[in-house]
Copies of this chain bind each other. A is one copy, B any other.
Amino acid sequence: MQLEQPFTGMRRRDLLKLIGMTAGSAAMYQAMTSLGLAAESDYKGPIKLEGDPKGASVLILGAGLAGMLAALELRQAGYKVKILEYNGRAGGRNWTIRGGDTVTELGGYTQKCEFDEGLYINPGPWRIPYHHNGLLAYCRRLGVTLEPFQQINHNAMLHSTDAFGGKPKRVREILTDFRGHTSELLAKVAKKGQLEGQVSKEDQEILLEALQSWGALDADYSYKSSLATAEFRGYEKEPGGGLGAEPVPGQIISASDILNSRLWGALANFSLYEFQTTMFQPVGGMGKIGEAFAKQVADLITFNAKVTKIAQNEKGVTVTYEDAGKPGTAKEASADWCVCTIPLTILSQIDIQVGGPMKAAIGAVPYASSVKVGLQMKRRFWEEDESIFGGVSYTNLPITQISYPSTGFNKGGKGVLLGCYTWNGPNSYEFTAMTPQQRVQKAVEYGAQIHPQYKEEFENGVSWAWHRSPFTLGCAGDWTDDARKEHYNNLCQIDGRIVLAGEHASYIPAWQEGAILSSLNAITRLHQRVMQG
């Protein structure tokens, strides 16, 4: 073990400083004013809806996170609240499919999930970034226990059918070698003086030092196979104990092979703000969040209520709905105000009485297409055979990625892989067009190219294609920049007595935080409107 070096090259100065300190020659602690480190978050802490709404009523459409949050907070503020929900369960896309569950897609595809007890797949959201402050605050308030979601895994695979004869490489190998080769190239240019004019002489010296550290370059600024580079990329033979335990470094991959493999394209995933460490998942499945909200507001929800019409006048809102299982059984619900969280794919097909700008906005947002496949394996071979604990392997195969469970590590037993997760593009449409059984079969066939153990270990699978999802008809709002410019504010403004909320009415589409923040923003404005009388 070596301690991580805090700042290479600083040790001599540390020593000098320490000598200064023990000689008592310098005051060590400087008064510090403000550290000003936090970014301004859109979540401003627990919502405060002050003032008496005097019995005003709100009808909420949709019992997903946005809708249930609105119900929870508006009831607390003194409103009379009701929720209409299309599904027979609360949560919306916050949803976990577990063994024994039956799910039905459009087209009549019904699957019974055959996972063992305790195993699950999250067809919708499955991870929570550390900066999703609103969602984290509700998890804490509602008692949802979180555990880390391993997004980054240096030992996961990068795979392309067009590179290295179709053999996957480890992330750590591609990462270290790409960084090493590019650092070497830049260091050589710097040494030749070719950066003059762009970088000052003093800075060039520091740059060389920095590239040596960053790229694991040797004393001559070369990137080579060695025990020093093995400390980043791993070994051919690991260091051991006792006799015969000397380590052997692996062979680095050439710059040209790395570039032509195009596997470098996956490296950005490991530092995107949305995927940075530490990420979270609820213990037991993402659906635990929806369940926790539902515990608070279940008494307000009418399930299996398919909204067909949303009308309003100066006095209130009237919503027509029917029993989702029995078309033609029209019922009505009325309230002074309406918070509508119905996905725009569906809302755009409902007769809704709002002005032209909001109507245009409702029709302007395409929805992302996405397919997930969960595969139960007899044993956690990725841990046992390949030392992959959580994280994601990326591939150019249509499955796009394989994600390993972030829970129950090192215990053995069965496990469920996310064996396919597509997002837009031809892969999504291709998988959506298949039956769930075909998707599972394809996911197993493709995945076996990365993990041959699939053939022995696969037991059963379940799949969800969001464009076949009856309650969303797509995965999530997929705004273009132009559409946002023209329509976003029109979508979010209060139209008469109706306000929209949900991930689609946010700058964080497809994330639960978008739904949370959108709902908080919408009900804050609605309450202000009510208070203004």
Contact = CB atoms under 8 A, between A and B. Distances in A.
The complex is assembled from copies of this chain, and their number is 2
A430 B15 CA distance: 11
A266 B6 contact: yes
Interface in A305-342: none
Interface string A438-468: 0000000110111010000000000000000
Contact of A394 (B7, B167, B195, B510): B7
Contact of A517 (B147, B240, B401, B509): B240
Nearest to A159: B6
Contacts of A501: 241-242
Identify the interface centre among A4, A36, A264: most chain B CB within 10 Å of its CB: A4
Contacts of A130: 155, 387-389
Interface in A196-216: 198-200, 203, 206-207, 210-211, 213-214, 216
A4 B269 contact: yes
Nearest to A259: B206
A177 to B, nearest CB: 12
A2 B246 CA distance: 44
B273 A240 contact: no
Interface stretch (A37-45, A286-294, A358-366): A37-45
A117 interface: no
Contact of A214 (B237, B267, B509): B267
Nearest to A167: B35
B519 A394 contact: no
A265 B7 contact: yes
B262 A394 contact: no
Contacts of A448: 29
By size class, the interface of chain A is: 35 or more
Contacts of A148: 147-148, 150, 389-390, 406, 409
Nearest to A254: B203
Nearest to A265: B7
Contacts of A139: 410
Interface in A409-457: 409-412, 421-427, 430, 445-446, 448-450, 452
B506 A32 contact: no
16 contacts: A3-B423, A5-B269, A6-B266, A6-B396, A7-B160, A7-B263, A7-B265, A13-B162, A29-B449, A39-B237, A189-B189, A189-B194, A232-B272, A239-B506, A239-B507, A240-B517
Q: 7 tightest CB-CB pairs across the interface, nearest first? A: A42-B240, A242-B521, A241-B517, A241-B518, A3-B423, A7-B265, A1-B510
Given A1-B274, A7-B265, A15-B426, 10 more contacts: A7-B160, A14-B396, A35-B450, A38-B385, A40-B238, A139-B410, A178-B214, A182-B183, A243-B493, A246-B507
